[in-house]
Structure 1
């Protein structure tokens, strides 16, 4: 059976919705203030169109975040080092964390909105569970490292969207300084030394 392709107008609407939502989340004071009605109006589509395509606001947020995450996940799945699976774990772990941090730096309010979709538990989202499993499995490959499960949680805590927003918007920490601090913290956790595990440039 031939798989049905989305209609061109549906694809155009989806692109318009993503562009509108990106802009609204980037410009808002709080992600809670971005509503489905706001996104529909900015995209020039009806609210019914949004609900048909995404189910609800949570579905739209997840779809948009997954679209922004897709290039990183493609690199993680089969790309070259430092993100790809062939990278040594001491190189891959800091690269994975840097990729998460950069994504959240570029999409702070969207990332905050995503973390708030976990019924007051950001650790219950599929997004978090996926990154935790990837990081844990990579940490498992480091000889002598104890409790990779907890270590993965601890390292990911340094990339939480609320912390990233606080440090950048609230404290004025420059992007590159925050990336460097995360790289040094990761190196200290992995005991690789400050000269190793340097974040890849994005």
Structure 2
């Protein structure tokens, strides 16, 4: 009931209040996103006396700050982390083995964003960013730890859509399935160049919803 009332109140405010996208020079921008997911998988090996259990949890908080330097044009910076926790446990003929893999990625992304207003409430944008990352891996197999560090640098283009609920608050989504990215990754034992066109089978990777505040002095 509370959820229904909240959704109804949000829709009512967005309908009755005069809303105009705040895309003027001098407007400040603050946004936040938190994505998380996890899974558990248990496999019983019918052909052998054993079983395997997989556990995975991902957490991806990120924040963006920016300022409009001219109408419809913003510059800013994004910061965030990607945390991945994985655990695999095998049991075979009464003997157990355990593998754990944790990774932590720190991201910093200077960006330029261009908006195109479609109506007082709707706008599309194109985000051009430089993505710099530091990655730390830690794995453990039966109590034996191993650590690895690496980094990556690249360029990314991502289109998106903004919808203003109030003059200062908007919900945004990055259209990740239309994004392009290219860059370089280096680890102690490998170096690679990458190019991604964001083709994915993960539905949550197609869109990412972000809460955004557009702050302008009256």
Structure with bigger gyration radius: 2
Higher strand share: 2
| TM value normalised by structure 2 | 0.28
| TM value normalised by structure 1 | 0.30
